[in-house]
Amino acid sequence: MNPGEPAPTDEGSTPPAFNPEAFGKYYLIDRIAVGGMAEIFRAKSFGHGGFENLVVIKRILSHLSVNDQFVRMFMDEAKVSAVLQAANIVRVYDFGKMRENYFIAMECVEGKDVKLLLRKLAERRKLLPREFAVYIAMEAAKGLDYAHKRTAINGQPLNIVHRDVSPSNILVSYTGEVKVADFGIVKAANCAENTDAGMLKGKFEYMSPEQAHGADLDRRSDIFALGIVLHEMLTGRRLFKTDSEVKTLERVKRVDVEPPSTINPGVPARLDKIVMRALTREPDDRYQDAREMHADLLEFLYPSSPDSTQQLLSHFMSELFADEMEMERSRTESGSALARQMHDSVADTELEPEFAGGTRTPTHAAPLLPPKPPSRVPIILAISLVGVLAVALAGVIGWNATQPETVKTVTQVTQVEPTTGAISLKITPAAATVEMDGAPVGTGAAVVLRDIAPGDHLVKVSAPGFVPHEEKVTVEAGDKVRLQVVLQAARVAPTLSPNTPAQPPGKPVPASDPTAAPGGPWVVGVFSSSPSGAEVFVDGKLVGKTPVSWDDGAAGSRYGVEYRLSGFDSVKFTASLPDGGGNVAFDRNLTEKAVGKGKVNINVSQNHWGDIYVDGKKIGTTPKFGLELPAGRYSVRVLNKDAGLDQTEMLTITAGQTQTLVFAPK
């Protein structure tokens, strides 16, 4: 999925075939989304020396080009996005108008947005693992913090507010990167289009209370919206969505929210606290900037690191969207091949001007200059030159009227037979090096070798601490050979004392087996846990923290294993190692230690209601029945200014008991 408002009409079906087309200096190779306002394409651009670049083109529909307000919004999106050059924000490279369509050229993110990610998991009746939900929200917060604090060249704050933070505008790449997209309704100091007082812009179910009221917004509105997204990632349910927009807005205004753990008991209390702080009704009670929220999420993620979590998320995405990845790459490869043919066949044709849809220069005019590189002049300056260009263009049109009609030549592009093949490797472990015919060609867990000449090739996969794997692969033109390579752990046979037999009776060591050692084949046990960072004890001996590999076991043997992590119940199990050797994985989910809890019912008499605050944090509105709290002492406040109600009571929760508090307005 790539940035932009439109979404595919049916994400579960195969997109219709698309014939590549020239679009100025770009070649549209695949249509990936279409909506009522814009179309989204994958596109290629070509340069000297075989340079190619894959981008995304967001093109507004031609009938909207006459809508001045919409065009100003589109320009604002381009202007704001162009100054946001951060790893967690989709970058914008170019802006212009081609024929009747304004367009933005931006970074191509190969992956899916959070909306499609959650939809795919819902189809499988699964929840997004909480570590991934935390990581995605944490990285999105980093991108938003950068945007919120961006300044102009003179140091003046741009006061950027996204106003449309939602699952469809947070992208997760297949490599585990997270990027915020689509600043289409952004509020910023340098925007030409201003929102009238009381006008609502954005998706109702992802608005902050102040946004739903049509009030002025600042960065804290985006933090509330990110809290909604995190809540939905943890629970798999829509937080504010109802069957009507009016009801949805009312729920948003009331901030009718329960902690995620009420739906997903696997969410720990400290993560509940982060989500509920982001979702506080009053902006002053929320995180005051996205960096604060990022810091709390990072602390929750510990001891896992962002880098290790990104790698795990990459594997998760690759497994979840394996079919989609293959289809997308196939369409991109075929579309790129046709675009390359089109580019080579019309290499000397002049590109259309970016900011005009007028008549092309006649073929008998002066010699053509090389294509002009993308302008680095700020967009606002380029727009100010439109009037000057229009005068010059009028002169060209008048001159063309006196010239004989030019003959247009149409170049037919045909599909050519492929002359090369490809090899796709999936490798375990991830830190592997791939060689082909003696030359290094790639590293990592997934390596694709393209443009390989037909014939036999020797492929070698190696990694430190593992036995190299070599295989002769026959490649045919137009085919992709897929290899699944699992390296076996290598180890040097231990030095034996004079009194130690060379090998146990009945277990000979074949000289031809490079992985064999005294005692039989070697086995590598891979211990992992969720969350990671748990200490691993094998027969009472500490061997490391998850994830960790262990190769001291004997094939066919059984070992007692225990995982220990502070704040979580320990997990004990028996690890049975296979007789034939090899790799075997042991993955376990850790459960937070249970704390004695009690319940309380909170209500207001005389048919009134009030907002409930527990220890200063709002947790909902009355009536509230069966509110579960860990044993301890709490301050409970109920507030309804309109009813003259503002009362505070001290409450002691006893494990296993239910109490009732009733407040009465004066």
**pLDDT of 187-207, one tens digit each?**
444 444 444 443 445 688 999
| Shared domain check, 355 and 313 | no
d(CA 116, CA 41) in angstroms, rounded, equals 18
d(CA 61, CA 5) in angstroms, rounded, equals 13
pLDDT at position 346: 62
Q: Is the pLDDT at 274 greater than 90, yes or no?
A: yes
d(CA 272, CA 257) in angstroms, rounded, equals 11
Per-residue pLDDT, averaged over 248-264, amounts to 91
What domain count does the chain have? 5
SS3 582: strand
Residue 38 lies in a domain: no
| Shared domain check, 609 and 524 | no
Residue 225 lies in a domain: yes
Kindly indicate the confidence band of residue 293, based on its pLDDT and cuts at 50, 70 and 90: very high
pLDDT at position 225: 96
Residue 167 lies in a domain: yes
| Shared domain check, 352 and 321 | no
Which of 335, 367, 401 is the last residue in one of the domains? 401
Q: Which amino acid, one-letter code, is at 573?
A: F
* C-alpha gyration radius of the chain: 31
Residue 80 lies in a domain: no
Which of 291, 325, 359 is the last residue in one of the domains? 325
For residue 469, give the CATH number of its domain: 2.60.40.1120
Give the single-character DSSP code of 195.
P
Residue 156 lies in a domain: yes
- Which residue do the tokens 């109802």 mark? 242
Q: What is the pTM of this model?
A: 0.52
pLDDT at position 77: 65
pLDDT at position 593: 75
| Shared domain check, 434 and 297 | no
Query: Is residue 300 a contact partner of residue 270, using CB atoms and an 8 Å limit?
Result: yes
SS3 247: helix
| Shared domain check, 288 and 250 | yes
pLDDT higher at 43 or 195: 43
Query: Is residue 534 a contact partner of residue 567, using CB atoms and an 8 Å limit?
Result: no
| Shared domain check, 453 and 397 | no
Bridge partner list, 448: 424
Residues with active-site annotation: 164
φ and ψ at residue 57, rounded to 5 degrees: -105, 125
Which of 567, 589, 611 is the last residue in one of the domains? 589
Residue 119 lies in a domain: yes
pLDDT digits (tens, 9 = 90+) for 210-232: 988 888 889 999 999 999 999 99
| Shared domain check, 529 and 477 | no
| Shared domain check, 635 and 615 | yes
| Shared domain check, 301 and 206 | yes
pLDDT digits (tens, 9 = 90+) for 468-525: 899 998 988 877 888 888 877 654 433 333 333 333 333 333 333 434 444 456 677 8
Whole domain around residue 224: which residue ranges? 111-325
Q: Give the least confident one: 49-53, 177-181, 226-230, 458-462.
A: 49-53
Cα dihedral value 580, 583, 584, 589, nearest 10: 180
Per-residue pLDDT, averaged over 369-394, amounts to 41
Tell me whether strands 523-530 and 582-589 are parallel, antiparallel or unpaired. parallel
Residue 14 lies in a domain: no
| Shared domain check, 222 and 164 | yes
Tell me whether strands 439-443 and 541-545 are parallel, antiparallel or unpaired. unpaired
DSSP per-residue letters across 199-262: ---S-GGG--HHHHTT----HHHHHHHHHHHHHHHHHSS-SS--SSHHHHHHHHHHT----GGG
| Shared domain check, 556 and 442 | no
Residue 411 lies in a domain: no
pLDDT at position 42: 93
d(CA 74, CA 652) in angstroms, rounded, equals 56
For residue 316, give the CATH number of its domain: 1.10.510.10
Kindly indicate the confidence band of residue 383, based on its pLDDT and cuts at 50, 70 and 90: very low
Query: Is residue 73 a contact partner of residue 182, using CB atoms and an 8 Å limit?
Result: no
| Shared domain check, 639 and 563 | no
